[in-house]
Amino acid sequence: MTAGRLNVDDAVRYAAAVRDDPAAAIRRWKALTGRKAVGCFPLYIPEEVLDAAGMLPVTLWGDEYPKAPAANIPSSLCSVVRGAFSAIRGGRWDAIDAWAIPSTCDSIQNSFEVLKAGGERRPMFPLIFPLAGDLPGASEYLLNGIEAFAEWAGTVSGRKVTEGAVEKAIVAYNVNRRMFAAIEERMTEAPGIVTAVEFLDLARAGSVLPKETHSEMLRAVLERGAARGNNPRSRIFLTGMMATDGVATALDAAGAAVVGNDLGRGRRYYSGIAAETGDTALALVRRHMSREACSTLHRAGRARIESLFRGVASCRADRVLLLRVRQCEPESGDAPDIAAEAMERGVPFMAVDVDPEGSGAAASLAVRIAAFVEMGE
């Protein structure tokens, strides 16, 4: 799949098309390349390894397809896992050839077990991350895991993962990360230059497309003139795991501009540059160990809260919207302390439960977001 030299409108349309049917984009890539695609559960799979094995990493966020009524999944699980299982069991992800499942949270970690017990026959790899970088032996443990992952990827693809191939993948991913960071910077400097819906589509497209193609898409959007920016009613910082279509549409409709984020399907996925020289596995370990604070990674004390509000200040955001995936324990657990900190700092704050399953709540979500955007005008 190559995007060629896209213009900005093509790029936005392309991202929207990927949003509407990501599996179609994967099938097209497979038809063109004859290679395999690996479905990755969120959040921190070292995709460079899969890329180096000649495979396409695709991250599933659970909101790609409408939910099937019952997937035999406990109702208390988060929408990401419920949505992913619903789509997998409904045959929506048949284009996926193998699965990589990290230890992000209990439910995602157990997804490996449940898929296997449910008869899933495609190859699967459970990648366990150390909980914190400062624990004794954590780096060695992760290094071992990444090496085993590379071996598995080589077996699945039939192409051995070499140092050179990982190095090339790291360079491509770094380019993509820098491009995404440039988009985010433009959104801070020229609020509204990229709408919330466009931002969500761009972030989502990067979960599906090869990084070179996605970088080309981002390059095209970066060429959009600054005049496209406007004077928004509010400068919003989005925190949490992911935005959904309902949230993005409501933000745009309310006249808000997203000027910063630390979303899982956003900054947290794209940030962090890996070293392009030296031992590649070690480079991936170091990248993981130095990730920005996240609800799914343990950091002592107030690391996430402080990192969040540093981000809010540097983006000159005037309010913070926490998008809490319904029944996501890591995010729900952090929310009260984030809310308390926002109150202490005098930063307008609102937490909303986003649930791709609950389409019936879209209207009330839009009303709440509109009220939040208008607050203090």
Partner 1 sequence: MGTRERLASAARMKELMLRHFQAGWLAREEGKKVAYVTSGAPVELLHAVDVVPVYPENHGAVCGVARAGGALCQAAEEGGYGRNLCSYWRIDRGARAAPGKSPIGGLPPPDFLVCANNICGTVVKWYEGLARLYRVPLILLDMPFRHEVEDRAAQEYVRAQFRALPAVLSRVTGNAWPEARFRETVALSRAASALWGECLAANSARPSPASAADQFILMGPIVTMRGTRDAVDFYATLREELQGRASRNEGAVEPERTRLLWDNLPVWHQLKPLTEFLAARGAVLVGATYAHAWTERPDESDDPLAALADAYARVWLNCGLGHREEVIRTIAASLAADGVVFHSNRSCKPYSFGQEEIAARLKGDGIPCIVMEADMADERDFAAAGWRTRLEAFLETIEGR
Binding site for partner 1 (CB under 8 A): 72-77, 81, 103, 105-107, 109-114, 116-118, 126, 128, 130-132, 135-138, 140-141, 144-145, 295, 298, 300-302, 324, 326-327, 329-330, 332-337, 339-340, 351, 353
Which token pair is 167? 């190095």
The DSSP output letter for 274 is P
Nearer to partner 1, 181 or 339 (CB): 339
Nearer to partner 1, 220 or 284 (CB): 284
* Smallest distance from partner 1 to CB 60, Å: 16
Cα gap 254→329, rounded to integer Å: 29
* Smallest distance from partner 1 to CB 119, Å: 9
Nearer to partner 1, 64 or 353 (CB): 353
* Smallest distance from partner 1 to CB 357, Å: 13
* Smallest distance from partner 1 to CB 44, Å: 14
Cα gap 338→103, rounded to integer Å: 24
Cα gap 108→102, rounded to integer Å: 7
Nearer to partner 1, 141 or 362 (CB): 141
* Smallest distance from partner 1 to CB 355, Å: 11
DSSP, residue by residue, 339-366 = HHHHHHHT--EEEEEE-TT-GGGHHHHH
Check if the beta carbon of residue 57 is closer than 8 Å to that of residue 47.
yes
* Smallest distance from partner 1 to CB 201, Å: 28
Cα gap 195→37, rounded to integer Å: 30
Could you list the beta-strand ranges (E) of the chain: 37-40, 56-59, 98-102, 124-127, 234-240, 256-261, 319-325, 349-354
The label of the residue with tokens 């790029």 reads 11
What is the helix (H) or strand (E) element at residue 125, kind and residue range? strand 124-127
Nearer to partner 1, 103 or 188 (CB): 103
Residue 79 has φ and ψ, to the nearest 5°, of -65, -30
Q: Give CA angle at 99 (96, 100), nearest 5°.
A: 140
Nearer to partner 1, 123 or 229 (CB): 123
Nearer to partner 1, 79 or 280 (CB): 79
Q: Give CA angle at 196 (193, 198), nearest 5°.
A: 75
* Smallest distance from partner 1 to CB 145, Å: 7
